[in-house]
């Protein structure tokens, strides 16, 4: 008998500001695990009670005042919570844990990769230098740890495919889609043995976005988006993937994040 399991990722751009939207999302879509990025609060101010009341009593939080921050909340127990300080910057951009899923333990990596600023030149832009060093260090992260298969999710701030951006030609020199970034992210995936679950389910030929800028007066009509949010897994878990959902409509909710939730659904045997 199949054992369903689902994981969602969402850059929420302040969890306290948008806790109402998160509660709405959880009530309607009921993922087993939700991974949030840019929670923008220290651990002590994370709205743990709201998540527990919503049916998510297990939390792995790595927060920071006013910036960054990642959190994983779950219906199922979480163990072995840890975080890595990539590039030794002291930023809270990663948290990992093991979730006791219905199909067995799964290692969860939740990432918020640096955006990289506006200039795609590490020699003159420290933010872009930070981003490229971060990606370089991610290349050491494999998809399996002994007998525990892994899932990697988050706002990776890179749109790797031509169909992941509204205009490949116009964005080739724009941070998030430059060749040095996309090559780097593809190398992270290849060296780690990861599978891009979104593109396993939705063909690479199909245009797909998860982020639309706040700067656009009518984001929906302009549709100048990018696929910055990702869900990867080990091949073992990829074979159990049943569905990917990208909730484009969430970008139109009241006071939304500029990112939308992405859900991966599995049927474990």
pLDDT given for residue 147 in this prediction: 83
8 A C-beta contact, residue 27 and residue 259: no
pLDDT given for residue 146 in this prediction: 74
pLDDT given for residue 89 in this prediction: 93
Distance CA 206, CA 162 (A): 10
Average pLDDT of the segment spanning 64-87? 96
Where helices occur in 58-143 by DSSP H, the ranges are 126-138
As a whole number, the mean pLDDT across the chain is 97
**pLDDT at residue 182 tops 80:** yes
Model confidence band, residue 79 (pLDDT cutoffs 50, 70, 90) = very high
Distance CA 78, CA 57 (A): 10
pLDDT given for residue 254 in this prediction: 96
Average pLDDT of the segment spanning 141-156? 91
Average pLDDT of the segment spanning 241-263? 98
Average pLDDT of the segment spanning 59-63? 98
pLDDT given for residue 93 in this prediction: 98
pLDDT > 70 fraction of the chain, expressed in percent and rounded = 100
Distance CA 155, CA 137 (A): 16
Average pLDDT of the segment spanning 158-171? 98
Distance CA 45, CA 43 (A): 5
H or E segment to which residue 229 belongs: strand 229-233
Lowest mean pLDDT among 41-45, 52-56, 146-150, 227-231: 146-150
Average pLDDT of the segment spanning 238-263? 98
pLDDT given for residue 1 in this prediction: 78
Which fold, 3-268?
Deoxyribonuclease I; Chain A (3.60.10)
pLDDT given for residue 68 in this prediction: 97
**pLDDT at residue 145 tops 80:** no
Short-list 46, 74, 76, CA closest to 61:
46
pTM above 0.95, yes or no: yes
**pLDDT at residue 165 tops 80:** yes
pLDDT given for residue 2 in this prediction: 80
Q: What is the dihedral of CA 73, 77, 80, 83, to 10 degrees?
A: 0
pLDDT given for residue 188 in this prediction: 98
């Amino acid at each position: 008998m199949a054992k369903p399991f689902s994981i969602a990722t969402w850059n929420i751009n302040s969890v306290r500001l948008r806790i109402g939207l998160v509660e709405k999302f959880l009530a309607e879509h009921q993922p087993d695990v939700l991974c949030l990025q840019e929670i923008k609060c220290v651990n002590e101010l994370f709205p743990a009670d709201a998540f527990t009341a919503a049916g998510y009593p297990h939390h792995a939080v790595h927060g920071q005042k006013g910036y960054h921050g990642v959190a994983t909340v779950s219906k199922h127990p979480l163990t072995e919570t840890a975080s890595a300080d990539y590039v030794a910057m002291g930023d809270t951009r990663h948290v990992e844990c093991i979730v006791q899923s219905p199909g067995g333990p799964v290692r969860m990596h939740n990432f918020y990769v640096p955006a990289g600023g506006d200039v795609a030149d590490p020699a003159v832009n420290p933010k872009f230098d930070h981003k490229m060093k971060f990606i370089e260090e991610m290349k050491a992260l494999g998809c399996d740890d002994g007998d525990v298969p892994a899932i990697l999710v988050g706002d990776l701030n890179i749109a790797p495919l031509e169909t992941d951006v509204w205009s490949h030609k116009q964005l080739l020199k724009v941070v998030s889609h430059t060749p040095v970034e996309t090559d780097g992210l593809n190398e992270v995936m290849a060296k780690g043995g990861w599978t891009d679950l979104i593109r396993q389910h939705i063909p690479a030929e199909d245009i797909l976005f998860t982020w639309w800028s706040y700067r656009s007066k009518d984001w929906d009509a302009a549709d100048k988006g990018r696929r910055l949010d990702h869900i990867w897994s080990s091949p073992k878990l990829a074979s159990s993937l049943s569905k990917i959902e990208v909730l484009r409509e969430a970008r139109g909710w009241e006071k939304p994040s500029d990112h939308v939730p992405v859900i991966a659904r599995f049927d474990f045997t």
